[in-house]
Amino acid sequence: MSRPSSSSAQAARQRLGEQLRALREAAHISGVRFAELAGWRDSSVVSKVEKGQRTITADHVRLWCRVCAASPRRTEELLSEQAAAERMWMTYQQLNRGGLAGAQKSVREQYEQLTLSRSYQPKLIPGMLQVEDYTRHALTGVIIEQSVEVPDADDDLAEAVAERMARQGLLGRPDARWLYVLEEAVLRFRPYSRQVHAAQLRHLMQVMRRPNVVLGIIPMDARRRGIHPAEAFNMFDSDLVTVELVSGYLSVTTPAEIAMYEFEWNRLSSLAVFGDRARALIGEALNAAEDQDGS
């Protein structure tokens, strides 16, 4: 995929900047004159905003629209685009500002409203399929890796785990389908104890029995036909794609980019095995985990 990171958010910012420049040029206002009208000594700020080289805030949009005498309708359109661009990229510091529990609760509505969920994961068990101990260990790792600081970390962790476990109840929604594709390596990775790993694999075998849950596994020896593993992503119907990266959380809403993820999902799904063949791979990984000594 050609744009797998926060560059998507940068591209959205650049598109918005181009529209602000077009607005100014249509009003026949030079960059220097605009800076004067805005009360800025440095006219380079105008260029940086219009090139998307700095964050474009709602106040910037209102300023451009006021100085250039944009119509109320055009102002609202640009403010909506600015809000969408701002939501596209969120650092983990921003996401976890209210604690892990708040971050977990902030995404619940997305899961409540979807009718088709598609999730590809090359490294971890998806949150909706995790057992409680796996979630607790995973979120404890988040606290360390993302430097989450809240007044009572233990209570926040417990509340975050409870929220994710409660969200899994949505798997029972009769009006929604949940599709998952995992690389086989996910079944073999053991980031936590052998007991937690084995319990997690047994849970995958159980959740596969749900009529509206489909779990596919891409075998490690699959003939990939040039299809490489991608970054983990989640698709909510055909309206939203979320991607958790090392540095932050990306939300993709533009149709052209969502189409890229649709294409990637179809390619990766074509490599996966399902049903009994998927159960066999999980069973092999479970046997390996149970045969290992130690924790």
What are the tens digits of pLDDT across the range 190-236?
999 999 999 999 999 999 999 999 999 999 999 999 999 999 999 99
The answer, yes or no, to whether residue 247 has pLDDT greater than 80, is: no
- Taking residues 156-174, what's their average pLDDT? 95
Report if pTM > 0.85. no
pLDDT at residue 224 in the model = 94
Contact call for residues 13 and 85 (beta carbons, < 8 A):
yes
What pLDDT score does 248 carry?
Answer: 80
CA distance 169 to 164: 9
Residue-wise pLDDT for 169-191, tens only, equals 999 999 999 999 999 999 999 99
* The one-letter amino acid at 123: K
CA angle 125, 245, 85 (to 5 degrees): 125
| Rounded distance between C-alpha atoms, residue 223 and residue 233, angstroms | 22
Block residue for tokens 């003939």: 223
CATH superfamily of 7-89: lambda repressor-like DNA-binding domains (1.10.260.40)
**Residues 54-68: b if buried by 16+ CB within 10 A, e if exposed:** eebeeebbebbbebb
Average pLDDT, the chain: 91
Phi, psi for 223 (deg, rounded to 5): -80, 100
Indicate the domain borders of the chain.
Answer: 7-89, 107-126+171-291
Task: State the helix-helix crossing angle for 275-291 and 194-207, rounded to 10 degrees.
Answer: 160
Matching CATH number, 107-126+171-291, of 3.20.20.100, 3.30.420.40, 3.40.1830.10, 3.30.870.10 = 3.30.870.10
Q: Please report the pLDDT score of residue 145 as a whole number.
A: 82
pLDDT of residue 293: 54
For residue 3, the model assigns a pLDDT of 45
Helix or strand run (H / E) with residue 91: strand 89-91
- pLDDT for 250 equals 86
Q: How confident is the model at residue 271 (pLDDT cuts 50, 70, 90)?
A: very high
* pLDDT exceeds 70 at position 8: no
- Highest average pLDDT, of 219-223, 251-255, 288-292, comes from 219-223
Average pLDDT score over residue span 111-134? 97
